[in-house]
Amino acid sequence: MEENIKKDKIYTLLSLYALIIIAWILFLIALYFSSLAIIPLFSEKKPSLIISILQLFIGVSIITLWLIIWRKLAKIWMFKILPKRSEKNGYK
């Protein structure tokens, strides 16, 4: 019994480590692509207004997409990965 509880705690910790590492990698990817979208705004001397707004919109959209994916991942962890098999159907 004690052994099982200890195993559950280690499983929880490692699962959450995996979630944080995935979120970190996704964050770096999102930051890279949003920067690529936004950077031309600051290097051009007279950027077109429409193109600037579009670039800014793309940059913000990428970060928003990261947040949405992060939330989806948290739900998967909460209801699929972390609970015991016997408890997975207990959520209502």
Partner 1 sequence: MLSIKEIIFSNTICFIITLIMIPLIIKISKKYGLMGIDIHKKNKLLIPKIGGIAIVFGVLISLFIIEFFNFKNSKFLAFIFSSIIATIIGLVEDIKEIEPRLKTFLTLLIGIPFIFLGAYTPYPILPFIGKVRLTIIYPFLILLAFAVTSNTANMIDVLNGSLIISYLIIFGGSIITSYIVGSIEAIFISTLLISSMIAFLPFNIYPAKIFVGNCGSLFIGTAIASIAIIARTEVSLIVALMPQILNSFYILSSFKGLKSGKSIENRPIKIENDMIKASFDKNAPITIVRLITARTSMKENEVVYIIALLSFLSVFLSIITQIFLIK
Q: 37 near 55, Cβ under 8 Å?
A: yes
**17 forms part of the interface with partner 1 (CB under 8 A):** yes
Residue 49 engages partner 1 in binding (rule: CB under 8 A):
no
Q: Which is nearer to partner 1, 20 or 50 (CB)?
A: 20
List, in sequence order, the alpha helices (H) in 1-92. 2-43, 49-76
Is 48 a binder of partner 1 (CB under 8 A)?
no
What's the burial of 34, exposed, middle or buried (CB within 10 Å: 0-12/13-18/19+)?
Answer: buried
Please select the residue that binds partner 1; options are 32, 48, 53, 64, rule is CB under 8 A. 32
Residue from 24, 51, 54, 63 touching partner 1 (CB under 8 A): that is: 24
